[in-house]
Amino acid sequence: MASVATSPISFAASFLRIKAFPLSPRFFPIRTLRCSLSSSSSSEPLEFDITFAPPKPTPSSTRGGAGVQQLFIPWIVRGEDGKLKVQSQPPARLIHALADATTQNPKKKDKSKKKKPQSTSASTPSSPASHSKPKLSKAARRFYNENFKDPPQRLSKVLAAAGVASRRTSEELIFDGKVTVNGSLCTAPQIRVDPTRDIIYVNGNRIPKKLPPKVYFALNKPKGYICSSGEKEVKSVISLFDDFLASWDKRNPGTPKPRLFTVGRLDVATTGLIVVTNDGDFAQKLSHPSSSLPKEYITTVVGDVHKRHLMTISEGTIVEGVHCVPDSVELMPKQHDIPRARLRIVVHEGRNHEVREIVKNAGLEVHSLKRVRIGGFRLPSDLGLGKHVELKQSELKAMGWKS
């Protein structure tokens, strides 16, 4: 039985029955075979001859002028009429497929792409295959570091910005010998470090190189919340941001959580506008008395308010050893749903219990106190108690802050 090689466009061998027998059985080896091919679709068998390649010519045969016989390879294809036929040339479709086929190995191509960056980095700058970034001069790097890159900061400030603790508590950790910088123990809070380059550890935990971004919020503080987190039996204002901090990793993957704190303080019974952030410089700018930032309060008092009360309030009083005088005092018109008298008082000192002390000095009792404005930013009327809203750059500028 002679075996016939099948091409990509040949039919399945299970549908063919090929019979081959030699034309010249007296000669050995066999050079030509007579084949009979039949299929289940066609009733008439197809007969053809297969001529094998002759052996390689010897030098003696070449000298004698004996020509080499041509190799004949039969191609069994199915014609347009559906019948099988034999031809001496390969089908046209196979020739076109071989012409369009790619001879490159895709795996080798990928390897060459991966090796390109290594070869380009090792190549000289004069070589045309080099695609590495141009090396900046010392003057260009110095200009970038002086104008764009953040300068080194105090160690206590970096720890506070990383969310370790407040700046004062961070200084205590440094004094207690719990902070190392580049493997060395550091006990000086004023040392300047760069978190992107220096390796800082606190209690065995490394400070991330990437500090959390600066965030700014306006909160409508409800009654019964304090602005510090020292007392466990009283609710803290920061607890109102638990949902925000819980979803931080989903919204900012790979970024450390900010350590939030309030800008200034409102006592536990005072409601209204308070700013919450993680920017220490911003908090110090707004809360410091030297900023003279006006703050507007709405005070509800017990009893009737007369002209002598307003005169006494406008003269001010001594608070924390400083004579504090309000910027303005105004008796607001009465409302049907609020039977008590209300006063609008604007101060700029920002002393502890300043408004309460001024009203108390006039002989009036404060029933409720609410802060509604800081600088040029007013508490939104649709912001409910315990809710917060993120501040925009224009609103930060209205408070006198330039980032």
Q: 198 catalytic, yes or no?
A: no
Burial of 19 (0-12, 13-18, 19+ CB in 10 A): middle
Cα 211 to Cα 214: distance, rounded to the nearest angstrom: 9
DSSP run (H or E) holding 393: helix 393-398
Burial of 327 (0-12, 13-18, 19+ CB in 10 A): middle
Tokens of 379: 């508490």
Please say whether the beta carbons of 33 and 50 come within 8 A: yes
In the three-class reduction of DSSP (H, G, I as helix; E, B as strand; rest coil), residue 378 is classed as strand
- Selecting among 110, 150, 249, 267, the annotated active-site residue is 267
Cα 263 to Cα 283: distance, rounded to the nearest angstrom: 5
Q: What is the CA 201 to chain-centroid distance, rounded?
A: 25
In the three-class reduction of DSSP (H, G, I as helix; E, B as strand; rest coil), residue 115 is classed as helix
Q: How many residues does the chain have?
A: 403
Cα 139 to Cα 143: distance, rounded to the nearest angstrom: 6
- Residue 293 Rama label (left phi>0; alpha psi -120 to 50; beta): beta
If we measure between CA atoms, which residue out of 356, 282, 275, 286 comes closest to residue 319?
A: 356
Please say whether the beta carbons of 387 and 380 come within 8 A: no
Say how many C-beta atoms besides its own lie within 10 A of residue 231's C-beta.
Answer: 10
User: Could you give the angle at which helices 307-315 and 354-361 cross, rounded to 10 degrees?
Assistant: 130
* Residue indicated by tokens 């790619």: 102
If we measure between CA atoms, which residue out of 146, 167, 395, 168 comes closest to residue 279?
A: 167
* Residue indicated by tokens 């890159």: 149
Q: Which residues are catalytic?
A: 267
